[in-house]
Structure 1
C-alpha cells in the first residue's frame, strides 16, 4: 500500500529559514512541498487555492502574523489544514503549545524534532484527531488579541489570563418589532444619515438608531477605523487608498464604494492600513 503524500506549505518571511526547512522536509518521501510563502497574506491566498494538508507557519511575520493567518482563514470560511507553528521563541513557547496540544518547531529546526512533528501529523491525517486539532487551534487563536505574539506566548506558558476580545461578534439591529443579527465581520462600512446609521454589510444595508461615537466604541479598532466625521470603514474590505491632486484621500472598498478620508482622520487611516 502506497504512502499518503502530505501536500505541504512552508510559510516564513526569512528566505534562509524557508530553504533550510524545505531541504529537511524533502528527505521524507511522503512529504511534498507544493509551495513557499514569504508573508501571511500570501499564505492565506495560497492555502485557499492549493488546499495543502500541512502548513509550517511562522508566528512572527510582517503584515499578518501566524495567529492572524488562522483568523483570516476562518473569516473566509476556508478549511484549516494541520498547522505546525514555527517560532524563534524558546521554553515558554514549548510549554504554551504543549498545553494546547498544538505542535511547533523551534528555529532552526533539528531533524529529530522535525521527524517527531511529522509523525504527529501523519497520525492526525490518518485518524479522527484532525478535527480535534483544528478545533483546538481555532480555540487558541480565538483567545488571542493584538499583535504581540511573544507576550501572548509568555502569558500562555505561565498560565496567565489572555485578554479575550471585548468587542461583540454580532450587532443586534432593532427595526420596530424585529431584531436583525448582523455579523460584525461582514460589515463593510457605516455612514450616517441624520439621526440614523446605515450599516452596509454583505447581506445588504441595515438602519439603526445610534450615534457614530457609540458605534465606534462598540467596534474593534483593529479592523474598524473612522475615516470621516460621518463614516467608519472595515479595513478588511479596503482595496486601496488613493490620493488625489487636490490633496484629498479616498478609500476604495472591494465593491468599489469610495469613501472620502477627512484630513483629521488621515493619519489614523494610514496607520490602520500599515502604510
Structure 2
C-alpha cells in the first residue's frame, strides 16, 4: 500500500521534478505541494501525511523552523525527508530524526532508495526513544542558528592535488568541478587535479556562491567560464566550458530555470 506524502519547496521546478520522480517510482501518493514553511505547517496539520519531503532552505520559515512549529503546536510529526543543495546540517539532522536526505538536483536512483527507507521506517514498530530524538533535533537546530552567525573565513584559494603536489588554486581560475565514484576532480585552464573534499557540497562551502553554480548533481561550474549554452533534447541544455577540452556539462531539469535567469534565455 502506498504511503502518503507532501512536498514542500519554494522552487516550483524542484517540486515538479520531485513529484515526477515519486510518481514514476510508485508506492507514494502525493497529497499536495507547499511553497513555504507557513504552508507546510498547515498542510501537515490538515493532511497528516506519512512523509513530508521538506526543503531546508526556504525564505522566512525554513525547514528546521517548520519542525519546531510542529513541536510547539503539538501537531503529529510525520516522517521527514530533508531536501538540500548545500546545507550540511540537514545531512547531520537526518541521523537524528529523519528518514533520509536528498541532495539537489534530485537523482532518480537516490529517490528510489529514499522511498525504500521510508517504507521500511513506516512498517517498523514505533520507537520508544522518539522524544529523545526530537530533543536532539532541536539541539541541532540551535547549533545551526549559532553557526549561521559565525562568519566564515574565505581565503579565495582551493587546494588541488595534482602529480603528488598540493597546489593552491585561485577559485576564479576554476572552470568546473565534477564528482565520480566519490572522487572530486577540479579543472582549470592549466591544471587537472583532485580535491580533498568528500562532496561537492563541501567544496561549495569554500567557494563564492555568486560565482559558482550546481548545474547538475555531478557538476559544479564557474559561471564566468561558461563559453556557450547549447540547446539539447526536450528543452534541456548543455554548457560548453572554456577549458582546453571544451567540456560539455549537462544542466539538470531542476536547474533549467536558474540557467534561464542567469542568461535571460
TM-score, normalization: structure 2?
A: 0.50
In structure 2, C-alpha distance between the alignment counterparts of 1:29 and 1:59, rounded to whole Å: 24
In structure 2, C-alpha distance between the alignment counterparts of 1:98 and 1:64, rounded to whole Å: 19
In structure 1, C-alpha distance between the alignment counterparts of 2:37 and 2:132, rounded to whole Å: 21
Q: Which runs of 5+ in 1 are unaligned?
A: 153-275
Q: Indicate how the Cα distance of structure 1 residues 70 and 98 shifts in structure 2: closer, same or farther if over 3 A, else same.
A: closer
String of CA shifts for 1:93-149, please: whole Å, max 9, x gaps. 575246536311000110111111111111110012566567524521244238759
* Correspondence 1:12 to 2:9: yes
Correspondence for 2:30 = 33
String of CA shifts for 1:179-213, please: whole Å, max 9, x gaps. xxxxxxxxxxxxxxxxxxxxxxxxxxxxxxxxxxx
| Contact 1:124/1:130, CA 8 A, preserved across alignment | no
Correspondence for 1:128 = 125
Q: Which has the higher contact order (CA 8 A, sep 6+)?
A: 2
In structure 2, C-alpha distance between the alignment counterparts of 1:134 and 1:58, rounded to whole Å: 23
* Correspondence 1:43 to 2:40: yes
* Correspondence 1:96 to 2:92: yes
String of CA shifts for 1:225-265, please: whole Å, max 9, x gaps. xxxxxxxxxxxxxxxxxxxxxxxxxxxxxxxxxxxxxxxxx
Correspondence for 2:102 = 105
String of CA shifts for 1:9-36, please: whole Å, max 9, x gaps. 0000000000000000001322011100
Q: Indicate how the Cα distance of structure 1 residues 131 and 65 shifts in structure 2: closer, same or farther if over 3 A, else same.
A: farther
Correspondence for 1:246 = none
Q: Indicate how the Cα distance of structure 1 residues 138 and 7 shifts in structure 2: closer, same or farther if over 3 A, else same.
A: farther
In structure 2, C-alpha distance between the alignment counterparts of 1:52 and 1:60, rounded to whole Å: 21
Q: CA RMSD in A?
A: 2.8
| Contact 2:56/2:83, CA 8 A, preserved across alignment | yes
Correspondence for 1:218 = none
* Correspondence 1:56 to 2:53: yes
1:149-160 matches, cutoff 5 A: 151=148
Q: Which of the two has higher C-alpha Rg?
A: 1
In structure 2, C-alpha distance between the alignment counterparts of 1:47 and 1:149, rounded to whole Å: 28
Instruction: State the number of aligned residues.
Output: 149
Q: Per-residue deviation at 1:62?
A: 1.1
Query: Could you say what secondary structure the match of 2:25 adopts?
Result: coil
In structure 1, C-alpha distance between the alignment counterparts of 2:65 and 2:54, rounded to whole Å: 11
In structure 1, C-alpha distance between the alignment counterparts of 2:79 and 2:68, rounded to whole Å: 15
1:156-167 matches, cutoff 5 A: none
* Correspondence 1:117 to 2:118: no
TM-score, normalization: structure 1?
A: 0.48
| Contact 2:55/2:84, CA 8 A, preserved across alignment | yes
1:121-270 matches, cutoff 5 A: 121-128=118-125, 132=129, 135-145=132-142, 148=145, 151=148
| Contact 1:60/1:149, CA 8 A, preserved across alignment | no
